[in-house]
Each structure stands twice: as C-alpha cells, then as structure tokens.
Structure 1
Amino acid sequence: MKNSKVIAYSGVATALSVVMLFLGSIVWVLGYTMPLVASLIMIVLLESVSKKSALLTFVSTSVISFILLNDKECVLLYVLFFGYYPLIRDKLNDIKPKLMSYLLKFVSFNAAMVLTQILCVYVFGIPFDDMLGKWGIVVFALCLNLVFIVFDKLYTLLLRLYRIKLKKKVEKYIK
C-alpha cells in the first residue's frame, strides 16, 4: 500500500479516535468507556493496513487529544493503556503459560490505572473523588478490573468478527 494511503487512513482513524475521546470528555459517564471504544478502531488498522499506521494513529491521537481536550483523565486512560494495548496484545497473548500472559495483562492494566490516577491528582490537580472512603477505592479498582476483563473478551470477539465478516470488504476499499 502506498504511503499516502497509509497516512490518509491513519488520519481518518486519528480523527475518529479524537472524536470518541471528545465525547468522553464532554459526557462524564463516557469518560471511562470512550478510551476503550477509541482503541477498538485499531482493529481495522492492525488487520488491514499496518502496525506502523496503528502506531502513528496512537501517537497522533494522544498528542492531539492532550492539546484539545479538557478531560485529562479520559485522555490519560487512552494514552497510558487503551491506545497502545491493541499494539501489544498479540505479544502478551503469545506468552506461555497462559497464566503468565493474564498476569502481565493485569499488571500492565493496573499500573496504568494507578499512574493515571496519580497524574490526575498530583500533576493536573484533579481531586480524587473518595465518596466511599478507602473501600470506594477498592471497589473502584475491582470494577475497573472487571471492565478490563470484559474489554479483553470483547476485543477478541470483535477481532474474530472483523476477520470473518468484514476484513475482505474493508480491504476491497482500502487496497
């Protein structure tokens, strides 16, 4: 595929990802879900264009979102985990034994979530909502891990669906 096409598809994916993150930044309920949705856009790039285009999309989406969007927590969730997770997911899935693969996934996810909260509180000055006290933080962390489990399964299913039903149709328009 020509470089101009790769750049064009990366640009469109970047614009769509920024719009998703924008929606997450203006509707507070979507602040945690839109980084996940934006990362699902990477399926098309990774499967039909190239890893280079997916990396380009991740970097450009991250930079543009930091500049344009108010909700830094939404952007940090994308930048610190959900944006690059599709790029490293296959490598993590290849690790044997499977228990080690899952452990690394959860360690990277939880490290990114902790780093996100630390940056939000201490760098961006966003107060942490501890309405439920210490237990609220634990419940929040458990809920985030459940969301990650669902996201990983959803990503696997959407990847399979894309490969079976949509890949040939999309590649017909891309190539």
Structure 2
Amino acid sequence: MNKASNMAKGGMITALSIILLYFSSIMPTNKLSFIVVASFLIPIAIINLNFRTSVIIYSAISLLSLFLLPLKGISILYILFFGAYGFIKFLIEKIRKVPIEIFLKLVYFNIVLVILILLYKQFFATMIDIKYLTTYLVVSIILAQLLFMAYDYLVTLMIQRFSKFKF
C-alpha cells in the first residue's frame, strides 16, 4: 500500500475514534460501550494497514482526545488500556502459546488496573469513603478479571470477523 492511502485510512480511523470517544464523554449512558467500539479500530488498523501506521494512529487519537474530549478520564482510560490493548494483544499473540498469552494479558491488565486505581484514589480520595472502596476491592478486582477476559474474547471475535475484509 502506498503512503497516501495509509494516511487517508489512518485519518478516517482517527476521526471515527475521536467521534466515538466524544460520544462516550457526552452520553449519559453506555460510556464504556463507545470506548470499547473505539478500541476495536486499532486492531482493524493493524490488520489493514501496518503496525507502524497503527502506532501513529493511536498517538494521534491519544493526543486529540486529551485536547478535544470534555472528560479527560475517558482519554486516560483509552490511552492506558483500551487503545493500547490492540498492540499488546497483537504482540502477545505472536507467542502462540495460549497459557502464556493469557498470563501476559492478565499481567498487563492488572498493571493498568493498579495504575487506574491509584489515579482514582489520588484524584477522588476526598470524594469517596476509602473503607467502602477497600471492602469491595477484592470482589471488584475478581469481577474485573472476568470482564477483561470477556473483552479479550470479544476483541478476538472482532479480529476474526474483520481479518476477512480489507479496506
């Protein structure tokens, strides 16, 4: 593929991602759904373009989201987890050993989860009761692991579906 085609497709993916992230920040419900759909666009870019171009697309989406979105938490969530996960998944799944892949994905998820929890405590500690948070933290982390595995499976299904189509 030529560079002009990659640039045009990258611009479309970037614009669509920003629109989805913007919807996520202004809609009263289904915020996570829009972020998840936006996260599917990075693996699509990796499949249809190339890894390097996809990194540029991710960087553009990340920077634009920080400047354009009214809720910076959406940007941080996308930058730390949802946007980056397409690359992590791509690199980890090159190993081709499912138990190791699952372990590494869970390690990545838990690192991001700890970072997000620390950021949350840093910025919102005065707004919440810490005892309440720690009481349900273990249950929340276990539930988060299960939801992450479901998300990973959903991304896998999406990749299988879109790997058949080239744009």
Shorter-chain TM band:
0.7 to 0.9
Distance 1:32 1:129 in 2: 21
Cα distance, 1:63–1:83 mapped onto 2, change above 3 Å:
same
Deviates more, 1:2-11 or 1:20-29: 20-29
Residue 117 of structure 1, CA deviation: 2.9
Alpha-carbon distance, 1:130 to partner: 5.2
CA contact (8 A) 2:22 2:69 kept: yes
Q: Does the Cα contact within 8 Å between 2:43 and 2:87 map onto a contact in 1?
A: no
Residues 130 and 27 of structure 1: CA distance in aligned 2, closer, same or farther (over 3 Å): farther
* Cα 1:72–1:116 shift into 2, 3 Å: farther
TM-score (norm: length of structure 2): 0.85
What amino acid sits opposite 2:102 in the alignment? Y
Does 134-143 or 58-67 show the bigger shift?
A: 134-143
RMSD, aligned CA: 2.3
Deviation at 1:84, TM superposition (A): 1.6
The structure-2 alpha-carbon separation of the partners of 1:155 and 1:116, relative to structure 1 and needing over 3 Å to count, comes to same
> 1 CA distance for matches of 2:42 and 2:15?
12
User: Which aligned pairs between 1:22-171 and structure 2 lie closer than 5 A?
Assistant: 22-95=22-95, 97-122=97-122, 125-127=123-125, 129=128, 132-164=132-164, 167=165, 170-171=166-167
> Could you tell me how far apart the structure 1 residues matched to 2:109 and 2:29 are?
20
Give the secondary-structure state (helix, strand or coil) at the position aligned to 2:30. helix
1:73, 1:120 within 8 Å by CA — same for their partners in 2?
no
TM-score if structure 1 supplies the norm length?
Answer: 0.81
Instruction: Specify the code of the residue in structure 2 equivalent to 1:10.
Output: G
How many Å separate the matches in 1 of 2:79 and 2:69? Answer: 13
Q: Distance in 2 between matches of 1:126 and 1:134?
A: 14
Of 39-48 and 139-148, deviating more is 139-148
Identity across aligned pairs (percent)?
Answer: 26
Note the residue ranges of structure 2 that are not aligned, 5 or more in a row: none
Aligned residues of 1:62 and 1:78 also touching (Cα < 8 A): yes
* Cα separation, 1, equivalents of 2:138 and 2:31: 19
Equivalences, count: 165
Q: Residues of 2 paired with 1:137 and 1:23: CA distance?
A: 29
